[in-house]
Structure 1
Amino acid sequence: MTHNLPEPAADLLRAVLEALDIPHPATFGDSEKHARVLEDRVMHTVIALRDVLDDERSALGVEWTTAYLRKRLAEHPPTGYRAAGAPRQNGSQA
């Protein structure tokens, strides 16, 4: 995939995509956990975007904010629910 963006901006956009593009839940029962994970990831993404776009708060720079966003996303991995298309484990049925 090619782009004409400065690399720091492209890296931030990749982090935003990583934050939001998580596997869909496999069942209705998995939706609640999926929603909680996604809400946390969205919150951290919004904070990062505000920091980058706010001239008064952007002193740390895009690179630092992107790294910080990735750290926060690691605290909220898209796990704890069965994802659509994920293989079944130990013969369990979805």
Structure 2
Amino acid sequence: MSTLEELRALLQAVVEAIDLPHPNTMGDADAYRDLLDRRAGLAVILARAALDEEPDAYGWHAAYLRRKIAEYPVTYRAHEKPEAGR
């Protein structure tokens, strides 16, 4: 994988970490914010670490971030968009 592809993978992993579905109710908002804070923190740590290392390590950082965010799945009720025509 090229450095550009690895950088793209890292950016995609950061988006996956912080692009969470909106909570369905106000009661789910705290869980949403807690999860977003935890995942955003992981993303920042990994992005900073990637910037401190050689560019050929971007792929490793992307894979590691994905493994870490998998440990923090969405557990609240997510808002679902209505289907078209409804």
- What TM-score, normalized to structure 1? 0.76
Deviations 1:5-60 (A, max 9, x none): 81001111110110111100011100011111111100110001100112xxx258
- Count of residue pairs brought into register by the alignment: 79
Please identify which structure carries the higher helix content: 2
Q: Percent identity?
A: 42
Residue of 45, 55, 58 corresponding to 1:62: 58
Highest CA radius of gyration, 1 or 2? 1
Consecutive aligned runs of 4 or more in structure 1 exceeding 3 Å deviation: none
Gaps of 5+ in 2: none
- What TM-score, normalized to structure 2? 0.83
CA RMSD across the alignment: 2.0
Residue of 68, 71, 76 corresponding to 1:81: 76
